[in-house]
Amino acid sequence: MKALGRHILLELYDCDSEILNDQERVEQIMKDAAQAARATIVNSVFHRFNPHGVSGVVVIAESHLAIHTWPEYGYAAVDLFTCGEEIDPWVAHHYVAEHLRARKKTSLEMKRGLLSVPVLKHKP
């Protein structure tokens, strides 16, 4: 049985709270992570909350990368969802964890779209 996508749910604890609260830096880190994984960026949306926290998504041709930060807890929830065999979500995983300076993390990879029919090659 073949999966269409790979989805890493990444929990980052004890990050640098200053970075987590900086919309511009968080956005740059997520975009750089996409590029490090050789994904093609289609669009992105980021938002800073009052009094603190950043949410954002990078839509890639191969699915999406999302982040929500809670600077007051030093925590970030990160989702790295990719499809196709060209790119590796674990490259983005390592990039984000390192650049948010997470001292503790848990990661879980889920397979998405488990099909019992052969998967065509042309779909990213």
Catalytic residues: 63, 68, 83
Select from 18, 24, 40, 45 the one that contacts a second copy (CB under 8 A). 45
118 three-class SS: coil
Sheet hosting strand 63-70, strand order edge to edge = 41-48, 54-60, 63-70, 75-83, 2-13, 104-115
From residue 94 to residue 123, what is the string marking binding to a second copy with x (rule CB under 8 A)? --------------x-x-xxxx-x--x-xx
41 binds a second copy (CB under 8 A): no
90 binds a second copy (CB under 8 A): no
23 binds a second copy (CB under 8 A): no
Measure the CA–CA gap between 33 and 39, rounded to whole angstroms.
Answer: 9
34 binds a second copy (CB under 8 A): no
